[in-house]
């Protein structure tokens, strides 16, 4: 999720986005400090690095390196259109992904093609807006070597709109998707649509599972495999999700929804189903959607537990060797980066850059050296 903002102006005022909640249900104001010393954020979990700004290069480095250490190969990023905060954040993430040899792709928000997100006044203008979004990505982001491609084509996921507005359903029909794809540049986007709807056979390329219950996953995997065998799907993506709790935003004002993590058992069961189905790819839902409580990014509550679990299951899924000792490395590096902002030391900064570069190229990170340096400089007990 690229929409988190924490920007402090010269006068001391902090602009927050998505860390706060002032709608129905309990309010959460991150300017308020709780008795435990934490900010009152709209989440049941508290990031290990605290609430952050999504554009911060130290944050992006920490997130990508933490994911990379666990065997995650890239991020799919929720995106709301050209010039939006998510677009600015994605550009920064893409630059960092190039440096760290990671892959990123965009998940289009279908509702963003429709009012009130867009100024469209007809279905035709909705299609023009959809094409504008895709062309922007093709021209601005997909040319990067870090942008995920499949079969030589830029990958786009799409998150479906579900409501109905004054222009009808906020979802593009198969015919409308075809019309949009005719107007965008070559190479044609490699488009993933959630679940499986036979009406879109031959229109979109792949399907992806979303977080759901056992009944949903028991339907998705055999259905997707059957469609893959029949040639109506080119590929599909499985899902591993640790649980769900959006009480921080009171279910976006509609009352909280909850899927118990059961001390990690929910995530284990998701991964066991992945290993049994052996899909071509797996999407972890999610890295950092703190508002819906689906995170595996390290937090104060569960530490590195879900990152370590992820690496162990990725090892089973891919045959990659599991090495948990480096999963804390990016956190130490992040703390050193923040220290250097307030205490500039060009020699240390250059040394950290060189050590990070060596890590990316295959040398294990100097975890213990970074730990000792962090404890010394920050005077940790």
Looking up residue 202, the CATH number of its domain turns out to be 3.20.20.80
Cis peptide before 116 (omega within 30 of 0): yes
Residue located via tokens 């940790």? 380
Quick one: pLDDT at residue 234? 96
For the chain, which residues score pLDDT lower than 70? 380-381
Alpha-carbon span 358 to 299, nearest angstrom: 27
Quick one: pLDDT at residue 380? 59
Model pTM? 0.96
User: Three-state SS for 213?
Assistant: coil
Quick one: pLDDT at residue 12? 86
Does residue 117 lie within any of the structural domains? yes
Does residue 11 lie within any of the structural domains? no
193: phi then psi, degrees, rounded to nearest 5: -115, 145
Which segments within the chain are labelled E, that is strand?
5-8, 14-17, 74-79, 103-109, 149-150, 153-159, 164-165, 168-169, 190-194, 206-208, 235-240, 244-245, 258-259, 281-284
* Number of Cα atoms under 13 Å in the Cβ half of residue 278: 4
Query: What angle (nearest 5°) sits at the alpha carbon of residue 323, between those of residues 318 and 327?
Result: 110
* Total domains present in the chain: 2
**Looking at the structure, do residues 297 and 343 belong to the same domain, yes or no?**
no
**Looking at the structure, do residues 302 and 372 belong to the same domain, yes or no?**
no
Domain that holds residue 354: 331-377
**Looking at the structure, do residues 216 and 357 belong to the same domain, yes or no?**
no
Does residue 9 lie within any of the structural domains? no
Tell me the pLDDT tens digit for each residue of 208-256. 999 999 999 999 999 999 999 999 999 999 999 999 999 999 999 999 9
Quick one: pLDDT at residue 331? 98
């Amino acid at each position: 999720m690229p929409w988190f903002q924490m920007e402090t102006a010269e006068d001391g005022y902090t602009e927050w986005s998505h860390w706060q909640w002032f709608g129905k249900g309990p309010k959460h104001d991150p300017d308020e400090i709780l008795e435990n010393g934490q900010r009152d954020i709209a989440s049941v979990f508290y990031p290990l690095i605290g609430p952050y700004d999504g554009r911060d290069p130290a944050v992006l480095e920490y997130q990508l390196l933490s994911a990379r250490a666990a065997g995650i190969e890239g991020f799919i990023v929720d995106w709301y259109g050209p010039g939006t905060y998510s677009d600015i954040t994605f550009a920064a993430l893409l630059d960092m992904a190039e440096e760290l040899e990671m892959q990123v792709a965009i998940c289009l928000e279908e509702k963003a093609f429709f009012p009130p997100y867009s100024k469209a006044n007809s279905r035709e203008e909705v299609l023009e807006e959809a094409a504008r979004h895709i062309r922007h990505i093709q021209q601005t982001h997909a040319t990067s070597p870090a942008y995920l491609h499949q079969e030589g084509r830029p990958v786009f996921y799409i998150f479906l709109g579900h409501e109905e507005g004054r222009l009808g359903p906020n979802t593009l029909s198969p015919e409308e998707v075809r019309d949009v794809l005719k107007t965008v540049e070559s190479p044609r986007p490699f488009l993933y649509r959630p679940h499986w709807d036979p009406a879109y056979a031959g229109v979109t390329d792949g399907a992806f599972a979303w977080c759901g219950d056992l009944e949903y996953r028991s339907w998705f995997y055999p259905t997707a495999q059957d469609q893959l065998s029949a040639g109506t799907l080119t590929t599909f993506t499985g899902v591993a999700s640790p649980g769900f709790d959006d009480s921080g935003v009171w279910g976006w004002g509609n009352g909280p929804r909850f899927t118990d993590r059961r001390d990690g058992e929910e995530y284990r069961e998701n991964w066991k189903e992945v290993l049994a189905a052996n899909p071509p790819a797996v999407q972890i839902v999610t890295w950092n959607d703190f508002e819906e409580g689906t995170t595996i990014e390290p937090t104060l509550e569960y530490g590195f537990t879900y990152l370590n679990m992820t690496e162990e299951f990725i090892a089973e899924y891919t045959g990659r060797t599991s090495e948990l000792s480096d999963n804390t490395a990016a956190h130490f590096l992040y703390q050193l980066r923040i220290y250097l902002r307030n205490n500039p030391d060009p020699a240390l900064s250059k040394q950290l850059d060189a050590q990070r570069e060596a890590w990316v190229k295959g040398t294990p990170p100097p975890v213990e050296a970074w730990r000792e340096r962090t404890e010394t400089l920050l005077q940790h007990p």
